[in-house]
Structure formats: structure tokens, C-alpha cells
Amino acid sequence: MKTALIVAGLLTTGAGMAQGQDRMPPIPTAQLSDAQKQAIDAFKAARSADLSGPFVPLLRSPEVMTRARAMGDYLRFRSTLPPRLSEFVILLTSRRWTQNYEWNAHEPLARRAGLKPEIIAAIADGRRPAGMAEDEDTLYTFCDELQRNQSVSDATYARAVQAFGEAGVIDAIGITGYYTMLAMVMNTARTPLPDGAKPALAPFPR
């Protein structure tokens, strides 16, 4: 039986699969503005990598891209949540938005961080995973309730604060919001998967 993530009817169906033509492909170098060139240089200095994924369409607004990258630097690499839990939240967000680029990038990271394969498989299927650790169960309940109801109950909030502290709760919200934004960008832009990659997430019926 599908979890409330699906029943709520909030999942997108098509753009996350990168169907159709890429609406915002890489900008030719000759067409880059000075601000865009500066944003690229700042990105490479911070990440030691070339632009990819959501940052390709985000470059259309270099100020937004730079600020988004800076927020991601903290939420992905320095969050109070350990990688197993931060990647767990990212996968939940990717599944909600049927965002295959995001899932493709973070599913291997989640495995390496110690998230069980059967939990990852359940998330991909849209099911509430069985056999979650206590902290995973707490975080799943918090994120699911927040997304479905746009709020959390007193009991869910108290449980999350007890498990992660107020800073951890804010970081969990931040990760959810940040990767939701990136999913929205890529679903709008129809950002394609890397060459050779196949979509792991099927869209759900609306």
C-alpha cells in the first residue's frame, strides 16, 4: 500500500523523469555575462567541480545560483545531521518530486553513508520503509507530516526535538526545502540525467 506521500497527490509526474527537451542546457561560453562567469568561478572554487545538474539552469540567475550553492555547502556537507540521515531526507524529497537526477546523485551516497538498501528501495517505491532505526523513523514521520500537512503535530515536533535538538530540526527542514527547490528547478528545466544513467523513479498516477 502506498504511503501518504503518494496518497496526498503531491508528487509530480513527468518533468522529474527528464522527459522532453532540456529547456535550460549549458550556456555557451561566448554568451556568458560577467556575473555568470564570476558565479562559475566561485562555484568551482567552493566545490572543486564543474557546474552540473541544477546549477546549469540556476546559472540563468547567477546571484540565486551562488546563494543556493552556499546554502548547499552547509546543508550537504556540514549539517548537524549525520550523512546517513541527511541523505535519507534528500531521497525522501527526490521521491516526492520524482526527481531522477537528484535521486541518481544521492542514492549511492545514501548507501555509502549506511542507509539500508531495503529502506532505499521502499522509498523509491513510495512505501513507508519497514525496519527503520529509531532516528530514521522519527525523521521520516517529521518530513512526511510536514510535506503532507504543511505543519507538524506537537507530538511529532517534540519527538524530533528530543532526537535531533532544535538545530537538527531546522537543518532537516532546510535540507527538505533546499532539495525541493533544486527538484523544482530541474523539473521545470527538464534537466537530463547524465549520459548512460536510467531513471530509477517512476511517476505516480495523479
Residue 191: which residues within 8 A CB-CB, separation 6 or more?
18, 22, 24, 53, 54, 56, 57, 101, 185
Residue-wise pLDDT tens digits, 73-110: 999 999 999 999 999 999 999 999 999 999 999 999 99
Position 12 pLDDT exceeds 60: no
Same-domain pairing of 185 and 118: yes
Q: State the residue range of the domain holding 112.
A: 81-189
Q: Report residue 1 as a C-alpha cell.
A: 500500500
Helix axis angle, 134-149 to 154-189, nearest 10°: 70
Same-domain pairing of 70 and 107: no
Radius of gyration of the chain (CA): 17
Residue-wise pLDDT tens digits, 105-150: 999 999 999 999 999 999 999 999 999 999 999 999 999 999 999 9
What band does 1 get if pLDDT is binned at 50, 70 and 90?
very low
Same-domain pairing of 57 and 128: no
Last residue of a domain, one of 22, 49, 76: 76
CA distances from 143 to 107, 169, 170, 203 (A): 18, 10, 12, 20
How many residues make up the chain in this entry? 206
pLDDT for 18 equals 42
